[in-house]
Amino acid sequence: MKSMASTSEKILDIAQSLIVAGGYNGFSYADISAAIGIRKASIHHHFPTKAELVSALVDRYRQQAEAGLNYLRARVASPAEQLQSYLNYWDTCIRDASQPFCVCAMLAGEMQMLPDEVASRVRAHFHSLAAWLTSVLSAGAEQGLFWLNKRPEEEAHMLMASVHGAMLSARAFGDPALFTTIATTQIAKLTR
């Protein structure tokens, strides 16, 4: 049983890197097969359809993201430090290319072409992230750490769009430092 889980994880890992590189329609089971060295039939054994594979990937990604955000909430008292830690995570991932782009952001760009079961999971990820950002911004505003011009929910959506836009800009210009520049500017607007 352990090797099945290991193979499934390898398949998900490769699928994630392929999606980040080229989106939902930018990869096939043949690409995964070539990367891992297993037959396409083996991939179909674990994930009968591409929609099931990507749904499982988004579920795993969302669980990892929520665990990371919950860890920040539990271990870092200051909302300002929580937000900075979130941005630092992405800054590091983009700079070292370990995770140069949010897989859900990449999939969101293809939302109208995604199977419903994948699209609903991508939306759930963004709802969860927006809720976390809203709670951090609300707590920071209550503590006098953040000055919000709009409701916390609206500010959270603007910040989320800025972070994902900064990822896109860093990728488009081939300049990881661009992410930091954009993210720092957004934090400065909140903490002035």
Look at residue 34 and tell me whether its pLDDT is greater than 70.
Answer: yes
Q: What is the mean pLDDT of residues 80-102?
A: 92
Q: What percent of the chain has pLDDT over 70?
A: 97
Q: How far apart are CA 165 and CA 18, in angstroms?
A: 20
Look at residue 84 and tell me whether its pLDDT is greater than 50.
Answer: yes
pLDDT given at position 100 = 81
Question: What global pTM score does this model have?
Answer: 0.92
Look at residue 30 and tell me whether its pLDDT is greater than 80.
Answer: yes
Q: What is the mean pLDDT of residues 185-190?
A: 92
Confidence of residue 6 (pLDDT cuts 50, 70, 90): confident
List pLDDT tens digits, range 152-180. Answer: 999 999 999 999 999 999 999 999 999 99
List pLDDT tens digits, range 96-150. Answer: 988 888 999 999 999 999 999 999 999 999 999 999 999 999 999 999 999 999 9
Helix (H) or strand (E) holding 170: helix 152-173
pLDDT given at position 99 = 83
CB-based contact 176:149 (threshold 8 Å):
no
Q: How far apart are CA 172 and CA 45, in angstroms?
A: 37
- Within 10 Å of residue 185's Cβ, how many Cβ atoms? 11
The CATH code of domain 58-191 reads 1.10.357.10
List pLDDT tens digits, range 42-58. Answer: 999 999 999 999 999 99
Residues sharing a CB contact under 8 Å with residue 17, sequence separation 6 or more, in sequence order = none
Look at residue 184 and tell me whether its pLDDT is greater than 50.
Answer: yes
Look at residue 182 and tell me whether its pLDDT is greater than 60.
Answer: yes
User: In Å, how far from its chain's centre is CA 110?
Assistant: 15
